[in-house]
Amino acid sequence: MRVIAGTYRGTRLSSPSDMATRPTSDRVKESLFSIISSRMALNGINVLDICAGTGSLGIEALSRGAAAATFIERDRKIQPTLYKNITAVHCLDRAKIFIYDALSAVRSLATRESCYDLILFDPPYESELYLPVTELLSALNLLKPDGMLVMECSSRKQLPPVIGLFVRFDRRVYGDTALELFSWEKL
């Protein structure tokens, strides 16, 4: 696993040996950031990486010019790996790490009046978090009006086309992985 492009291109990222996490493959990550870059400039944006695991997606955004990234990961065992990866790309000053469950962390961010240009959400594929977290993100207005929410899920699972105020505008399948891309519904 490595950083694909940008300032930290080629930097190897660590992953836990037990593979309790499922890091996004380089192929999917490259495709994802190509799609994102075609819709928004990454320079100076604020990113939220939910169920961050190793931090690969948020780190890729930082490498490509994001101003800051907030990482949410509930598993304390992965925290050293996440911290090590953020340190490897010299981004500790541009990163915040929350070791909480996704719902609690999202509620906490709302009280801090946080708002993000890009939200990356990659829970375990069999997780029941997809709808509750997305509905909460919508209800708490954590995505900027021109922002994008990207959810990674199993290709065998299709998320609803509308969740809260988010509407899906694209879905891409890469083997066992699907990327579902959402934006604010235009009222």
What pLDDT sits at residue 68?
97
Tokens of 54: 């190793």
Instruction: For the sheet with 95-98, list strands across it.
Output: 95-98, 68-72, 46-50, 116-121, 143-154, 177-184, 166-174, 162-163
What CATH number should be reported for the domain holding residue 39?
Answer: 3.40.50.150
What pLDDT sits at residue 22?
65
**Residue 15 lies inside a defined structural domain of this protein:** no
Domain of residue 48 covers 26-184
Closest CA to 86 of 7, 13, 18, 4: 13
Dihedral pair phi/psi, residue 97, rounded to 5°: -120, 125
**Residue 9 lies inside a defined structural domain of this protein:** no
Weakest-pLDDT range from 21-25, 28-32, 54-58, 59-63: 21-25
**Residue 84 lies inside a defined structural domain of this protein:** yes
Closest CA to 111 of 131, 136, 74: 136
**Residue 20 lies inside a defined structural domain of this protein:** no
**Residue 12 lies inside a defined structural domain of this protein:** no
Please count the structural domains in the chain: 1
**Residue 103 lies inside a defined structural domain of this protein:** yes
Q: pTM of the prediction?
A: 0.94
| 99-158 residue pLDDT tens | 999 999 999 998 888 899 999 999 998 899 999 999 999 999 999 999 999 999 999 989
**Residue 62 lies inside a defined structural domain of this protein:** yes
**Residue 93 lies inside a defined structural domain of this protein:** yes
Tokens 């993100």 -> residue: 137
